[in-house]
Structure 1
Amino acid sequence: MRIGLLGTGPWARSVHAPALAAHPGVDLTGIWGRRPEAAAALAQVHRARPYATPDELFADCDAVAIALPPSVQAPLAARAAEAGCHLLLDKPVATSVPEARAVTEAAERAGVASVVFFTARFGEREGEWIAAQAAVGGWFTAHADWLAAVFATGSGSPYAHSPWRREKGALWDIGPHALSVLLPILGDAEAVSAARGPADTVLLTMRHSGGAASSVTVGLTAPAAASGVEVTLRGTAGITSLPRREDGPGPAYHRAVDALLTAAETGLPNACDLHFGLRVTQILAAAEETLMPLMPLGS
């Protein structure tokens, strides 16, 4: 499959481009970026061609992979779908429901396959655990702590200067990861509320269609010593926790590419397609609407 890459930032350089260039079922056709010099440099590293415009890249590709901020990703993905390209997108698909719905409907009209890359869902150990717990059922409660030190003092993260993450915070950057784990196990969120914690930290609570309740704490400003990921389920089968990732995001992205190839070949939708990406956006938007500052309680 001829795949073009849109984006030249840290995530594109460290994950997307290397994985696409190394995948045996893919021809990394070319790269487009908002900074032409960055696109040329990244294309040279991976022996691909830099493109001057997205539409020129779409015309030469069977699919596109996008590593751009969500507000940029959504309209470009819709254009790519209209050009007949299958879609490998990053989370969140968009940070507004109308934008997420527009790209989903564009893909439906064009009949193209779509996969949204959620690292936990496509991680080998994590994906197997999620599928196993969904099969077990009987879950009563779940809690997730998904905390990063991206904006902590002294952070050396390459994403520390990301404008969209600064604007939208952990709810939109990390919230999709937590939902991608909890929703397939506990069922869709029927009710959601959120409260603000320190800095960009958000405390999210949900009631699920399977009857369980879940709580999630996400943050990009946690102290480095407090950062990490923990997801714990409690139910009739006992207590279980999400296994820790043993490798980086590259192998998970490789499996996401596999998923797109399969969906395009078979015509069968992937569980992490645009419809799931739209639902994640809807839940996060509903949570954002409930966000209020924490109010001190009187004595």
Structure 2
Amino acid sequence: MRFGLLGTGPWARNTQGPALIDHPDAELVGVWGRRPEAAAELANDLGTAAFADVDELLAGCDAVAVALPPHVQPELAVRAAGAGCHLLLDKPVASEPADARRLVAAVEEAGVASVVFFTLRFAPQPAEWIAAQQEVGGWLTARAQWLSAVLGGKQSAYSASPWRRERGALWDVGPHVLSLLLPVLGDVTDTDRIAAVRGPGDTVNLLLPHVTGAVSTVTLSLTVPPEAAVVEAELRGPAGAVRLPERDRGVAPLAFGRAIDALLEAARSGEPHPCDVRFGARVTELLAVAEERAGKGS
């Protein structure tokens, strides 16, 4: 499958680009970015071509991998779908529910396949853990924390990200946590019962009622000190208590390769992947409700 890469930031450089280059069933046709000089530099490093015209790149591709901020991604993804390209999208698929719904409509109209890259759903150990807990079922409650120091003093390639600074942990790491909880506990259908309370920095605490009757509590932050950083989740029910395996920080390129596999299979079979654009849009809708309940941060 011939891929175009949209975006030139650290995610495109460190994860998506290398995974596309290494995948035996993918060909990286070229790179487009909002800054032509950055696209030229990344394309040179990846051994592919830089495109100044995004529509020219789309015309030569079967699919696109998108590494753009959530307020930029929908417009480009809609154009790619209209050009007949399958979509390998980043989370969150949009920063506004209306844009997410517009993207879903474009995918359905074009009849293209879509996969949204939630790291926990494609990294081997977390993916296996999620599938196992789905099989067990009967969970009564869950507790999840994703506390990061990306904006809390730790030097990171993502520390200067304008959209992360503006939208905070709810929109950056919140999608990862929802991608874990929703397949195990079920959707949050009664959004009137969602509760959200802000804490220090960009910290936000959520209470989510799931359709199965289970209730989950979630704490998210990008602004904790490095000493307080943690990624953890725990489920409790008749089967006892189970904890998410410790996160492997170096697994992203491998996980993205598995997302490429998923897109290839969805395009071949015509069967939607569980992490398709519709699931991505649902995550965006829930984040928007939580943000409204939490109010503006400090």
Give the C-alpha shift of residue 110 in structure 1: 0.1
Give the match for residue 116 of structure 1: 116
Gap regions ≥5 residues in structure 2: none
SS in 2 for 1:93: coil
SS in 2 for 1:70: coil
Give the C-alpha shift of residue 53 in structure 1: 1.5
SS in 2 for 1:138: coil
In terms of mean alpha carbon deviation, does 230-239 or 190-199 score higher? Answer: 190-199
Give the match for residue 248 of structure 1: 251
Report the residue type matching 1:131 in the other structure. Answer: A
Task: Number of aligned residue pairs: give it.
Answer: 293
RMSD: 1.1
Aligned pairs for 1:46-125 (under 5 A) are: 46-125=46-125
Report the residue type matching 2:202 in the other structure. Answer: D
Give the match for residue 285 of structure 1: 288
Give the C-alpha shift of residue 185 in structure 1: 0.1
SS in 2 for 1:139: coil
Give the match for residue 10 of structure 1: 10
Q: Does 1:172 align with 2:171?
A: yes
Tell me, yes or no, if the aligned pair for 1:150 and 1:220 is still in contact at 8 Å: yes
Give the C-alpha shift of residue 227 in structure 1: 0.5
In terms of mean alpha carbon deviation, does 240-249 or 200-209 score higher? Answer: 240-249
Tell me, yes or no, if the aligned pair for 1:140 and 1:235 is still in contact at 8 Å: yes
String of CA shifts for 1:191-218, please: whole Å, max 9, x gaps: 3221101100000110001110000000
Give the match for residue 228 of structure 2: 226
Looking at structure 2, the residues matched to 185 and 257 of structure 1 have their Cα atoms a distance apart, in angstroms, of 23
Looking at structure 2, the residues matched to 251 and 189 of structure 1 have their Cα atoms a distance apart, in angstroms, of 30
String of CA shifts for 1:155-192, please: whole Å, max 9, x gaps: 21111111111110000001000000000000001332
SS in 1 for 2:258: helix
Aligned pairs for 1:241-280 (under 5 A) are: 241-246=243-248, 247-280=250-283
Identity of aligned residues (%): 58
SS in 2 for 1:189: coil
Looking at structure 2, the residues matched to 71 and 291 of structure 1 have their Cα atoms a distance apart, in angstroms, of 20
Looking at structure 1, the residues matched to 230 and 61 of structure 2 have their Cα atoms a distance apart, in angstroms, of 38
The TM-score with structure 1 as length reference comes to 0.96
SS in 2 for 1:199: coil
Give the C-alpha shift of residue 248 in structure 1: 2.2
Give the match for residue 156 of structure 2: 157
Tell me, yes or no, if the aligned pair for 2:231 and 2:247 is still in contact at 8 Å: no
The TM-score with structure 2 as length reference comes to 0.97
Gap regions ≥5 residues in structure 1: 295-299
Tell me, yes or no, if the aligned pair for 1:195 and 1:293 is still in contact at 8 Å: no
Give the match for residue 297 of structure 1: none
Give the match for residue 130 of structure 2: 130
Looking at structure 1, the residues matched to 103 and 146 of structure 2 have their Cα atoms a distance apart, in angstroms, of 28
Find runs of 4+ consecutive structure 1 residues off by over 4 angstroms: none
Looking at structure 1, the residues matched to 176 and 225 of structure 2 have their Cα atoms a distance apart, in angstroms, of 20
Report the residue type matching 1:224 in the other structure. Answer: P
Give the C-alpha shift of residue 38 in structure 1: 1.1
String of CA shifts for 1:42-78, please: whole Å, max 9, x gaps: 1111211100121111000000000010111011000
String of CA shifts for 1:225-281, please: whole Å, max 9, x gaps: 111200000001000011113342111101000000000011000000000001000
Looking at structure 2, the residues matched to 83 and 243 of structure 1 have their Cα atoms a distance apart, in angstroms, of 40
SS in 2 for 1:71: coil
SS in 2 for 1:230: strand
Looking at structure 2, the residues matched to 137 and 248 of structure 1 have their Cα atoms a distance apart, in angstroms, of 27
